[in-house]
Amino acid sequence: MRIDWDDLRNRARLAAARSYSPYSGFAVGAAGLTTDGRHLAGCNIESASYGITMCAENSLVADLHMNGGGRIAAIAVVGNGESITPCGRCRQLLWEFGGEDCLVDIDGTPTTLSTLLPHAFPTLPLPHGSGR
């Protein structure tokens, strides 16, 4: 699959324009591409309590599930117009929905999640109703 990184970065900037970031003033947008070629987008949505703030990558994963599910092949994230790296929490989330080979744009260099998060929590299936 060919990934147009310039297009993903531009889509991430467009997503950031929809950010709700009145507390930090740091507008973040994420744009992704699924393994079957669909585009995804998400932006950060802040809360006064900070702890329930949604990162752009979180809303991108919500977009993935709202539009049929699948796997993330590549993602670009921008903050206030510049390329940024997903935080650790988001790296784990991306691992679960993209896997170790998911590519992340890091300063113009596609980098695998296995490089960014070398010791990710395993995504083992839990028994239904296990409460864990």
CB 110 within 8 A of CB 2: no
Q: Would residue 96 show up in a list of annotated catalytic residues for this protein?
A: no
Counting Cβ atoms within 10 Å, is residue 51 exposed (0-12), middle (13-18) or buried (19+)? Answer: exposed
- Pick the catalytic residue from 46, 57, 82, 96: 57
Q: Which residues are catalytic?
A: 57
